[in-house]
């Protein structure tokens, strides 16, 4: 297969994933999947190794790439099967992320798999939105170990009903599950057509060539990192259960042959839900290093062959059952990117940006009441870190998430909520030769009683700057003007207002003197002390 043919093959595989995503989005019922696009789709080979993915959610895709081989290797597959799972300790991430996997058989032979993972705003937790301030996995909702939702083409209606019965809005959940089923069927059809045109042998050879090509591109791109060991540490604000300043530590050992990513020294798993399985840590590693590769690098298993990941069992990012993990997937994954970029900044400072806002700023709201139950979940953007070549973007999702905001018109039409303020948070980006992006302010007026859960970070610590740039401002959460903790669940009444101010991004390079005319010269300075930057190694 020549270079042009290989490029076309890679594009066709990616197009399969994109069509799956479009099917899922258009068929879904919930705002979280249909409007926020909180889902991901991918193709795998017969052994569960990644072959292609669409540009969806990094934390979904990287974790699937890491764990899929173990999942598919434990199941007896038949044509027409579809397996469902969400167990974080058996290939999932956190319980709201539900994965459906379908095998593709051609002429009786298992050739490939398609899979999609979608975040369900309710998966049966006691708190609406299924993102509680939890202490054990069981508190976070219904645990689905890998099992057949469809067996040889026959739906297990009892299993589906058991899942739907755990939710507050079974109609939406029913629609979302069938959207996921439809997405996999679309993927099977398109991938089957591609294999029919090529033939099974040629398809297998093309997958092998694609993996080798991905490895070559990755090795060439990562060769810019000088050999050596690069260390960095950051911390989580708290776990919502009394543990504060929870350390996340990494050492990158770079050689011409490999990059070993070692998280030894990271804190032990904690009582709260900022723990995560190793697959989530792998997603952060793959993402951070993939950002150094050219855009045309294929998303396949070969691209990540030279990367080795180590983390002690029982630590924060290699948690063991029954540790709670709801926030690990969203908050700890984001901090993992920060520490990885902090280590890389010591090796290739002009290629790495300052820290971005460092939180997905999770908001889960709803009501549990007979005949009036509802739930809603969203993440909120913030400031992007600045880099050597320009300032950070303002009010955006960064790194491990890639979702949209819910349109205010949709939110206000479907739920007893009003968005009374949605604006950039002026002055929240860190000063510098290139300033960090501004965070957001999003304020909600409740028109009816509800339960609210906030899982947020960078409310104590601040996103660090680089090369002498200042850190971004930390965020804050407020109820009717009164300060709230970073992680909390509470009741609101009609007329209450919840305000979420998200962190800004860190600045890059020393800020110009005040007498030098620049758009950022008169930006308000933050009173909190500068925490230092990655050049210190901590």
Supply the pLDDT for residue 538.
38
Q: Please name the residue that has the structure tokens 């099917």.
A: 23
Q: Is the pLDDT of residue 45 over 70?
A: yes
Q: Average the pLDDT over 424-445 and give the result.
A: 98
What is the DSSP pairing of strand 154-155 with strand 374-378?
A: unpaired
Give whole-number Cα distances, 374 to 364, 365, 371, 383, 519, in Å.
11, 8, 9, 31, 45
Rounded distance between C-alpha atoms, residue 321 and residue 229, angstroms? 32
Domain locations in the chain? 3-215, 353-538
Q: What is the pLDDT of residue 369?
A: 83
Residue with tokens 């029954």: 322
Strands (DSSP E) along 392-508, which ranges? Answer: 417-425, 439-446, 450-455, 476-479, 482-484, 487-492, 497-501
Distant-in-sequence, close-in-space partners of 536: CB < 8 Å, separation ≥ 6: none
pLDDT at 516: 59
Q: Which one has a higher pLDDT value, 536 or 75?
A: 75
Within 10 A of 511 (CB to CB), how many other CB atoms are there?
Answer: 22
Which candidate, 501, 502, 477, places its Cα nearest to that of 489? 477
Phi, psi of 337 (to 5 degrees): -60, -40
Q: Judging by DSSP bridges, how do beta strands 439-446 and 476-479 pair with one another?
A: unpaired
Q: How far is the C-alpha of 235 from the C-alpha of 335, rounded, in Å?
A: 7
- Number of H-type helices and E-type strands within the chain: 9, 20
One-letter-per-residue 3-state SS of 153-214: CEECHHHHHHHHHCCCCHHHHHHHHHHHHHHHHHHHHHHHHHHHHHCHHHHHHHHHHHHHHH
Which of residues 63 and 158 earns the better pLDDT score?
158
Dihedral sign from CA coordinates of 501, 505, 511, 516: negative
Task: Supply the pLDDT for residue 472.
Answer: 98
Q: What is the pLDDT of residue 60?
A: 77
Q: Which pLDDT belongs to residue 517?
A: 56
Bridge partners of 203? none
Q: What gap in Å lies between CA 476 and CA 493, rounded to an integer?
A: 21
Nearest C-alpha neighbor of 345 from the set 534, 538, 536? 534
- Other residues' Cβ atoms within 10 Å of the Cβ of residue 380: 23
Q: Could you give the 3-state DSSP secondary structure of residue 487?
A: strand
User: Comparing C-alpha atoms, which of 87, 137, 134, 90 is closest to residue 323?
Assistant: 137
What is the residue whose two structure tokens read 């904690």?
270
The pLDDT of residue 524 is: 38
What average pLDDT does the chain have?
Answer: 93
Which residues partner with 376 through β-bridges? Answer: 365
Under a CB-based contact definition with an 8 Å cutoff, are residues 77 and 103 in contact?
A: yes
Question: Mind listing the pLDDT tens digit for each residue in 482-537?
Answer: 999 999 999 999 999 999 999 999 999 998 887 755 444 434 334 333 344 443 33
- Identify the three-state secondary structure at position 403: coil
**Residue located via tokens 């705002």:** 31
- State residue 80's pLDDT score: 97
Reading the block at residue 346, the tokens are: 């010591």
CB neighbour list of residue 189: distance below 8 Å, 6 or more residues apart: none
Say what the pLDDT of residue 521 is.
40
Give the containing element (helix H, strand E) for 461: none
Buried b (16+ CB within 10 A) or exposed e, 368-378: eeeeeebbbbb
DSSP single-letter state for residue 139: G
Name the pairing type of β-strands 476-479 and 450-455.
unpaired
Tell me whether strands 259-262 and 307-310 are parallel, antiparallel or unpaired. Answer: parallel
**Interval 114-164: pLDDT, tens:** 999 999 999 999 899 999 999 999 999 999 999 999 999 999 999 999 999
pLDDT, residue 321, reads 97
pLDDT of 113 > 90? The answer is: yes
Tokens linked to 178: 């069938």
Closest CA to 288 of 349, 341, 231, 214: 341
pLDDT (tens digit per residue) in 172-196 = 999 999 999 999 999 999 999 999 9
């Amino acid at each position: 297969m020549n270079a042009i043919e290989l490029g076309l093959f890679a594009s066709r595989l990616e197009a399969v994933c994109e069509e799956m995503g479009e099917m899922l989005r258009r068929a879904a019922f919930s705002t979280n999947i249909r409007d926020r696009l909180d889902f991901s789709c991918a193709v795998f080979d017969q052994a569960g190794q990644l072959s292609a993915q669409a540009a969806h959610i990094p934390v979904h895709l990287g974790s699937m790439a890491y764990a899929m081989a173990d999942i598919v290797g434990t199941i007896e597959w038949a044509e027409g099967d579809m397996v469902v799972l969400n167990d974080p300790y058996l290939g999932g991430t956190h319980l709201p992320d539900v994965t459906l996997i379908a095998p593709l058989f051609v002429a009786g032979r298992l050739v490939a798999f398609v899979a999609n993972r979608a975040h369900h705003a309710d998966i049966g937790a006691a708190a609406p939105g299924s993102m509680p301030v939890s202490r054990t996995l069981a508190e976070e909702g219904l645990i689905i170990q890998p099992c057949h939702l469809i067996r040889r083409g026959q739906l297990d209606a009892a299993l589906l009903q058991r899942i739907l019965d755990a939710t507050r809005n079974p109609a939406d959940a029913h629609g979302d599950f069938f959207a996921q089923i439809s997405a996999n069927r679309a993927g099977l059809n398109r991938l089957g057509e591609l294999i029919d045109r090529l033939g099974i042998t040629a398809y297998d050879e093309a997958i092998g060539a694609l993996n080798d090509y991905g490895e070559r591109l990755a090795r060439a791109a990562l060769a810019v990192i000088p050999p050596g060991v690069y260390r960095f540490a950051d911390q989580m604000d708290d776990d919502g259960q009394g543990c504060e300043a929870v350390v996340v530590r990494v050492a990158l050992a770079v050689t011409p042959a490999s990059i070993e990513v070692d998280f030894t020294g990271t804190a032990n798993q904690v009582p709260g839900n900022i723990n995560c399985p190793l697959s989530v840590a792998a997603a952060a590693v793959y993402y951070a290093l993939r950002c150094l590769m050219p855009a045309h690098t294929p998303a396949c298993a070969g691209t990540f062959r030279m990367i080795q990941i180590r983390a002690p069992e029982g630590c924060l990012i290699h948690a063991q059952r029954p540790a709670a993990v709801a926030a690990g997937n969203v908050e700890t994954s984001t901090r993992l990117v920060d520490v990885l970029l902090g280590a890389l900044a010591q090796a290739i400072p002009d290629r790495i940006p300052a820290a971005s806002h460092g939180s997905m700023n999770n908001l889960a709201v709803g009501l549990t009441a007979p005949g009036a139950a509802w739930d809603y979940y969203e993440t909120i953007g913030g400031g992007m870190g600045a880099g050597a070549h320009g300032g950070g973007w303002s009010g955006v999702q960064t790194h491990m998430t890639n979702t949209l905001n819910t349109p205010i018109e949709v939110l206000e039409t479907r739920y007893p909520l009003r968005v009374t303020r949605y604006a950039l948070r002026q002055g929240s980006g860190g000063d510098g030769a290139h300033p960090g992006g501004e965070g957001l302010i999003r304020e909600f007026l409740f028109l009816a009683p509800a339960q609210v859960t906030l899982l947020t970070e960078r409310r104590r610590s601040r996103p660090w700057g680089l090369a002498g740039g200042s850190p971004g401002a930390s965020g804050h959460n407020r109820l009717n003007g009164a300060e709230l903790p970073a992680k909390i669940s509470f009741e609101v009444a009609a007329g209450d207002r919840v305000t979420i101010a998200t962190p800004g991004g860190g600045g890059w390079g020393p800020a110009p003197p005040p007498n030098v005319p620049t758009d950022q010269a008169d930006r308000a300075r933050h009173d909190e002390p500068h925490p230092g930057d990655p050049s210190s190694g901590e």
